[in-house]
Amino acid sequence: MRIAVFVSGGGTNLQAIIDAAESGKFSAEIALVLSSKPDAYALERAKEHNIPAVYLSSKEFSSRDDFLNAMFDVLEAHAIDFIALAGYMKKVPPEIVQRFKNRITNIHPALLPAFGGKGMYGMRVHRAVIEYGCKVTGVTVHLVDDQYDHGAIVAQQCVPVSDHDTPETLAERVLAIEHLLYPKVLEWFAQEKVIVSGNSVMILS
Ligand code: GAR
């Protein structure tokens, strides 16, 4: 499986996937890193590990079609057959979602469908969880459809919220779980253990 990791920021999840790949216990190849931001630190991480890295933003194109074609071209040029969103803050164009049906995942730092959707990212998620008074939050990996943070759930892991948590302390513990969960889930896909039927996802043991 040749994965493209889509990023917009620091790329600690990308790093966790790179580390898994370099540990030799990962069957997929990270064949491309695509960033929606030119200065995302994730691009540096990719370069340090000799992974092809591109900045691709609709802002650089005069039409949506040109942007879409450029995205298709780069995915094809690197023979990508799976896309992992890891802190990618843009919507994936529906044509790409269609072409990669059930082959695009996203990771989100909460237990979806709670605390997700447009504008729910980074510290905002953890602040909202604490303000609501939740006793547990967590991590979700889901298939991507045409809405933000939406699509069949592949895996979730809980993280308890303590009375003393700040958004920052909670974010740190949730992120640590993300780093464990995402490579594991991607490995399930690489080993063809994920069976999708409508909104239900089964993992073969
Ligand atoms: C991660 O916490 C990820 O779950 C979140 O962005 C962060 C990216 O961190 N994604 C979302 O909020 C999606 N709605 P990273 O760049 O260090 O991997």
Q: Domain range spanning residue 93?
A: 1-100
Q: Point out the domain boundary residue: 70, 100, 130.
A: 100
Q: Point out the domain boundary residue: 42, 70, 100.
A: 100
pLDDT 10s digits, 126-140: 999 999 999 999 999
Nearest atom in ligand 1 to the alpha carbon of residue 125 is 12
What number is the average pLDDT over the span 134-162? 97
CATH code of residue 172: 3.40.50.170
User: Which residues does residue 197 pair with via DSSP β-bridges, in sequence order?
Assistant: 200
Q: Judge if 55 and 79 occupy the same domain.
A: yes
Question: In this structure, are residues 83 and 92 in contact, taking their beta carbons and an 8 Å threshold?
Answer: yes
Q: Judge if 113 and 164 occupy the same domain.
A: yes
* Residue 11 CA, distance from chain mean position: 10
For residue 41 and ligand 1, the question of a CB distance below 6 A is answered with no
Q: Judge if 86 and 147 occupy the same domain.
A: no
Q: What is the mean pLDDT of the chain?
A: 97
Q: Judge if 198 and 163 occupy the same domain.
A: yes
Q: Judge if 190 and 109 occupy the same domain.
A: yes
pLDDT 10s digits, 54-103: 999 999 999 999 999 999 999 999 999 999 999 999 999 999 999 999 99
Q: Which residue has the tokens 């340090």?
A: 48
SS3 readout for 86-125:
CCCCCCCCHHHHHHCCCCEEEEECCCCCCCCCCCCCCHHH
For residue 151 and ligand 1, the question of a CB distance below 6 A is answered with no
Q: Judge if 62 and 88 occupy the same domain.
A: yes
Q: Judge if 132 and 190 occupy the same domain.
A: yes
Question: In this structure, are residues 34 and 5 in contact, taking their beta carbons and an 8 Å threshold?
Answer: yes
Model-level pTM greater than 0.95?
yes
What number is the average pLDDT over the span 157-176? 98
- Collapsing DSSP to helix, strand or coil, 17 comes out as helix
What number is the average pLDDT over the span 146-161? 96
Q: Which pLDDT does position 134 carry in this prediction?
A: 98
Q: Which pLDDT does position 57 carry in this prediction?
A: 98
Q: Which residue has the tokens 């069976």?
A: 195
Which strands make up the sheet holding 82-85, listed edge to edge? Answer: 53-55, 29-35, 2-7, 82-85, 104-108, 136-143, 153-160
Q: Judge if 113 and 28 occupy the same domain.
A: no
Phi (first) and psi of residue 170, to 5 degrees: -65, -45
Q: Which pLDDT does position 202 carry in this prediction?
A: 97
Nearest CA to ligand 1 atom 9: 87
The pLDDT of residue 187 is above 90:
yes
Cα(87) to centroid(ligand 1), Å: 4
Q: Judge if 11 and 32 occupy the same domain.
A: yes
Catalytic positions, written as ranges: 108
Q: Which residue has the tokens 């949730």?
A: 174
Cα(96) to centroid(ligand 1), Å: 21
Q: Point out the domain boundary residue: 57, 79, 100.
A: 100
Count of structural domains within the chain: 2
Other Cβ atoms less than 10 A from the Cβ of 42: the count is: 26
Q: Which of 188, 172, 138, 197 is nearest to 1 (CA)?
A: 188
C-alpha dist (Å) from residue 160 to 15, 122, 157: 25, 18, 10
Cα(187) to centroid(ligand 1), Å: 19
Q: Judge if 72 and 141 occupy the same domain.
A: no
Question: In this structure, are residues 111 and 136 in contact, taking their beta carbons and an 8 Å threshold?
Answer: yes
Q: Judge if 94 and 142 occupy the same domain.
A: no
Q: Which pLDDT does position 25 carry in this prediction?
A: 84
**Measured between alpha carbons, how far is 171 from 148 in angstroms, rounded to an integer?**
20
Q: Judge if 61 and 2 occupy the same domain.
A: yes
